[in-house]
Amino acid sequence: MSVTSILLAVGIVGGTGAVIGILLGIAGEKFAVEVDEKELAVRECLPGNNCGGCGFPGCDGLAAAIAKGEAPVNGCPVGGEDCAAKVAEIMGVSAGEAVRMAAYVKCAGTCDKAKDNYEYVGARDCRLALNNPGGGAKACTYGCIGFGNCKKACPFGAIEIVDGVAVVDADKCKACGKCVAECPRHLIELMPADAACHVRCSSKDKGIEVKKACQAGCIGCGLCARNCPAGAITVENNVAHIDQEKCTGCGVCRQKCPVKVIQ
């Protein structure tokens, strides 16, 4: 191969590369997507867990929504007040006062209090257990199945199964909501982490049926509601509910509850 042929080949390859580079540069300028600088700055402040607890598809989705004014600056439940303050500074607004939330399991039916109808044999999975008679061995068809789907779903290690019932460590919980979505019996809800009183039952059965299934179930007697000085308690579908915004934490409901289901 002659020197002339080699130089010609190098020239063709080099020229082709230069033309492609120019075309790519022009295309990049023409089709460039404008990025909001605030969105990038907000994204840098977010923790990156991508848990979805904010209601958006990951941290990128939340950052975009905050930058557009479609989400509050304190919308990240994992980042907490420090994250909210940084984002608020970027957006030039006040972070406001955020109430720290935590997941809470509305069941007190531990192994010594909740009765079993039979011995369960099968996969230790709450959703699969629902395919069995009664949705599992426990006599209460509203209580915690106790196989730990919520624990597996929690990215922060805030849930343990203790004596057959899921228990949330409020100090570790970031209120991402993954356990809420995972529980097939919808026993978990997000409440203010410092809430004074909780009803540890979700059974909608009448009192006599509740007592047959669990010693720790709400019997719907209404003593808590009648004695609450703040009017924060109602009994709906045979189970007591506490309005956390009205509750003053006086503890009267705990004292009056005959089955001690209010914690």
What would the pLDDT profile of 111-121 be if each residue is shown by its tens digit?
Answer: 999 999 999 98
- 223 and 203 co-located in one domain: yes
Q: Which residue has the higher pLDDT, 8 or 107?
A: 107
What would the pLDDT profile of 97-110 be if each residue is shown by its tens digit?
Answer: 677 889 999 999 99
pLDDT-derived band of residue 201, with 50, 70 and 90 as boundaries? very high
- 121 and 189 co-located in one domain: yes
User: Does residue 28 lie within any of the structural domains?
Assistant: no
Mean pLDDT of 140-166: 95
Place of tokens 């867990």: 49
Based on the structure, what is the number of domains in the chain? 3
Q: Are 88 and 73 in contact, with CB atoms under 8 Å apart?
A: yes
- 189 and 204 co-located in one domain: no
User: Does residue 9 lie within any of the structural domains?
Assistant: no
Single residue among 165, 194, 223 that ends a domain in this structure: 194
**Separation between Cα atoms, residue 151 and residue 178, nearest integer Å:** 10
User: Does residue 31 lie within any of the structural domains?
Assistant: no
User: Does residue 13 lie within any of the structural domains?
Assistant: no
Which of 13-22, 30-39, 43-52, 125-134 reaches the highest mean pLDDT? Answer: 125-134
- 205 and 147 co-located in one domain: no
pLDDT-derived band of residue 3, with 50, 70 and 90 as boundaries? low
What would the pLDDT profile of 240-262 be if each residue is shown by its tens digit?
Answer: 999 999 999 999 999 999 999 99
User: Does residue 11 lie within any of the structural domains?
Assistant: no
CATH number reported for the structural domain that contains residue 64 in this entry: 1.10.15.40
**Separation between Cα atoms, residue 45 and residue 162, nearest integer Å:** 36
**Separation between Cα atoms, residue 46 and residue 51, nearest integer Å:** 11
User: Does residue 185 lie within any of the structural domains?
Assistant: yes
User: Does residue 14 lie within any of the structural domains?
Assistant: no
What is the span of the domain harbouring residue 227? 197-263
**Separation between Cα atoms, residue 14 and residue 80, nearest integer Å:** 54
- 130 and 185 co-located in one domain: yes
Q: Which of 204, 192, 235, 228 shows the shortest CA–CA distance to 97? A: 192
CATH number reported for the structural domain that contains residue 175 in this entry: 3.30.70.20
